[in-house]
Amino acid sequence: MKISLITVFPELHKTFLQTSLIARACEKKLIEVNLVRFSDMCAPKERIDEPTVSHGAGMIIKPEITQKAIEQCQEKWGNGFKIFFSPQGQKLTQPLLNKFSEKFNSQENTHLILVCSRYEGIDARVEEHYADLVLSIGDYVVMGGDLPAQIFLEGLLRLMPGIVGKKESVEKESFQGPVLDYPEYGLPVEWEEKKIPEILRTGNHKEISQWRTTQAYKKTFLSRFDWFVSSNPSTQECALMHTLIPSHYIAIMHTDVKLKVEGVGNTSIASLDIHDAARASITYGIKNLFIVSPLQDQQEILRTFLKFWGSEIGKKYNESRQQAVSCVRPVFSFQEMIETINKQENMKAPIIITTSAQNIKYGKQIDFYSQGKVWQQDRPVLFLFGTGQGLSDKILEKSDYTLLPISGLTEYNHLSVRSAISIVLDRWLGLHSKIY
Ligand SMILES: C[S@@+](CC[C@H](N)C(=O)[O-])C[C@H]1O[C@@H](n2cnc3c(N)ncnc32)[C@H](O)[C@@H]1O
């Protein structure tokens, strides 16, 4: 593989290229690098940059300087795949690196041209004209494209044959699948009063392997559940994840809710809400959907509904609906619901997360992507949804967390409870598959 690196500071890349595995790859002629200095493209006394046009701070590298540099690289080694680095580019990920290593591995002569800009960046026309790919190393701005180019090269080259000794050590890393790598330990057995987990010293390969799998899943759901849900996990991987994360419950409160006409009180149940919330609950792996109402007549309607869906006629009518409705639990009060959960969860009390269309602040506020913070407490999780005008202050005071409100790009803010339930569940527990 031939690599042209166009840069303002070639000296930044010299130690990089002369160290460790990259140096060895150069020695073994697996890669050849051509360092090109932008300023070598200038006429005597010419500068490589000029102020940006119109108001605005900063300097930009002149288009003809980048053009000359790219063309000189192509004269030397032929047409190249041109990568520009910019915080506005496509985010560099392991799947993207895998894709490029496969692409470059399968072709005879690869010539990569990496353009590392500085200052305010590259003239927009140059990027538009030349770039085959614009890459970002993350949502932050560094001073130049040199470190981004080195990060890209380290990620890519370790996947190319012959560069890293053991193939296994690059294939079994974090981000090669939906779960992160398991924790690793070395000797001594005890360090700073912390011991290596006992299981790793038993020599029982089967149990060690199971332990490592569980640890890898735990690390993933505590710190990068976003990665898991966006990396197309298999049905088996989802099933295992579901057994390892804490149990989840939701409740639709028909009591202790604010009413349109002043005060706090009860609301009527709506069968459409129960159908839809039950279907969402089963989809996202919720253990029970509680319907909380102290009113005898409402409870009777609910029990008639559940009796129908639990019956043979209900099953014949729509079996998948029967399956969904099987998670519904009618309860008379908030207290009865908590006691039911405690019993089911070996007396572990649930963490209560309340929801509201307003920005309320009881307990700690939490966003939709901080599952790890909640799950690290190893307790069941209960989401409370209000009806009427929302949960009363008495209920909100019980919050361990309040979830940020759901909102769109407009100011309209009147979702039905069943829509809110689906949105929250999808954000909290849903798979968000990506095509890489
Ligand atoms: C100071 S930055 C210019 C930032 C640009 N004005 C903006 O706000 O999008 C200068 C150069 O550093 C490189 N750079 C900075 N942050 C980067 C990132 N997150 N990923 C890739 N390249 C980056 C790019 O080559 C960029 O043109």
Verify whether ligand 1 is closer than 6 Å to residue 90 (CB atom).
Answer: no
CA proximity to 420, closest of 333, 369, 357: 357
Structure tokens at 48: 């490589």
Whether 32 is in a domain gets the answer yes
Pocket test for ligand 1, best of 66, 126, 142, 151 (most atoms within 8 A of CB): 142
At 294, is the secondary structure helix, strand, or coil? coil
Half-sphere exposure of 214 (CA within 13 A, CB side): 9
Beta-bridged to residue 91, according to DSSP, are 136
**E strand or H helix that includes residue 25:** helix 20-27
Shared domain for 142 and 167, answered yes or no, is: yes
**What Å distances lie between residue 432 and 89, 233, 241, 342, 419, CA to CA?**
21, 10, 15, 31, 18
Shared domain for 151 and 256, answered yes or no, is: no
pLDDT for 260: 92
Domain CATH code at residue 93: 3.40.1280.10
CA proximity to 407, closest of 368, 362, 371, 354: 368
Verify whether ligand 1 is closer than 6 Å to residue 169 (CB atom).
Answer: no
Shared domain for 219 and 267, answered yes or no, is: no
Verify whether ligand 1 is closer than 6 Å to residue 124 (CB atom).
Answer: no
Atom of ligand 1 nearest to the CA of 121: 27
pLDDT for 363: 83
| Residue where a domain stops, chosen among 171, 199, 215 | 171
pLDDT for 119: 86
pLDDT for 208: 97
Shared domain for 412 and 286, answered yes or no, is: yes
Place of tokens 């959960």: 341
Shared domain for 225 and 295, answered yes or no, is: no
Shared domain for 216 and 275, answered yes or no, is: no
Verify whether ligand 1 is closer than 6 Å to residue 117 (CB atom).
Answer: yes
Whether 13 is in a domain gets the answer yes
Burial level of 302, CB count in 10 A (0-12/13-18/19+)?
buried
Shared domain for 280 and 425, answered yes or no, is: yes
pLDDT for 399: 95
Domain total in the chain: 3
Shared domain for 286 and 414, answered yes or no, is: yes
| 110 CB neighbour count, 10 Å cutoff | 18
Whether 176 is in a domain gets the answer no
Give the DSSP per-residue string, 149-211.
HHHHHHHHHTTSTTTSS-HHHHHTSTTSSSSPPPP---S-SEETTEEPPGGGGS--HHHHHHH
Q: Helix crossing, 205-223 with 235-244: angle to 10°?
A: 80
Pocket test for ligand 1, best of 9, 91, 136, 141 (most atoms within 8 A of CB): 141
Dihedral (C-alpha) 237, 238, 242, 248: value to the nearest 10 degrees?
Answer: 160
* 143 alpha carbon – ligand 1 mean position (Å): 7
Shared domain for 332 and 418, answered yes or no, is: yes
Structure tokens at 227: 């990665």
**Cβ atoms 155, 21 nearer than 8 A:** no
Whether 305 is in a domain gets the answer yes
Reading the chain (436 residues) residue by residue, the pLDDT tens digits are 999 999 999 999 999 999 999 999 999 999 999 999 999 999 999 999 888 898 777 899 999 999 999 999 999 999 999 999 999 999 999 999 999 999 998 888 899 999 999 988 899 999 999 999 999 999 999 999 999 999 999 999 999 988 887 777 788 899 999 999 999 999 999 999 999 999 999 999 999 999 999 999 999 999 999 999 999 999 999 999 999 999 999 999 999 999 998 899 999 999 999 999 999 999 999 999 999 999 999 999 999 999 999 999 999 999 999 999 999 999 999 999 999 999 999 999 999 999 999 988 888 999 999 999 999 999 999 999 999 999 999 999 999 999 999 999 999 999 999 999 999 999 999 999 988 7
Structure tokens at 230: 């966006």
**Cβ atoms 405, 358 nearer than 8 A:** yes
Whether 436 is in a domain gets the answer no
Verify whether ligand 1 is closer than 6 Å to residue 430 (CB atom).
Answer: no
**What Å distances lie between residue 142 and 116, 117, 118, 147, 401, CA to CA?**
12, 11, 9, 8, 35
Pocket test for ligand 1, best of 59, 86, 90 (most atoms within 8 A of CB): 86
* 150 alpha carbon – ligand 1 mean position (Å): 14
Shared domain for 100 and 73, answered yes or no, is: yes
Place of tokens 């590298």: 61
Verify whether ligand 1 is closer than 6 Å to residue 152 (CB atom).
Answer: no
Q: Give nearest CA residue, ligand 1 atom 1.
A: 143
Q: Rounded to an integer, what distance in angstroms lies between the CA atom of residue 255 and that of residue 332? A: 9
Atom of ligand 1 nearest to the CA of 144: 12
Whether 313 is in a domain gets the answer yes
* 109 alpha carbon – ligand 1 mean position (Å): 29
Verify whether ligand 1 is closer than 6 Å to residue 144 (CB atom).
Answer: yes
* 208 alpha carbon – ligand 1 mean position (Å): 44
Domain holding 208, by residue range, is 190-240
Q: Give nearest CA residue, ligand 1 atom 19.
A: 87
Shared domain for 272 and 334, answered yes or no, is: yes
Is the torsion defined by CA of 22, 28, 29, 30 positive or negative? negative
Shared domain for 152 and 287, answered yes or no, is: no
- The gap from C-alpha 367 to its chain's centroid, in whole angstroms, comes to 13
Whether 252 is in a domain gets the answer yes
Whether 352 is in a domain gets the answer yes
pLDDT for 126: 96
Verify whether ligand 1 is closer than 6 Å to residue 148 (CB atom).
Answer: yes
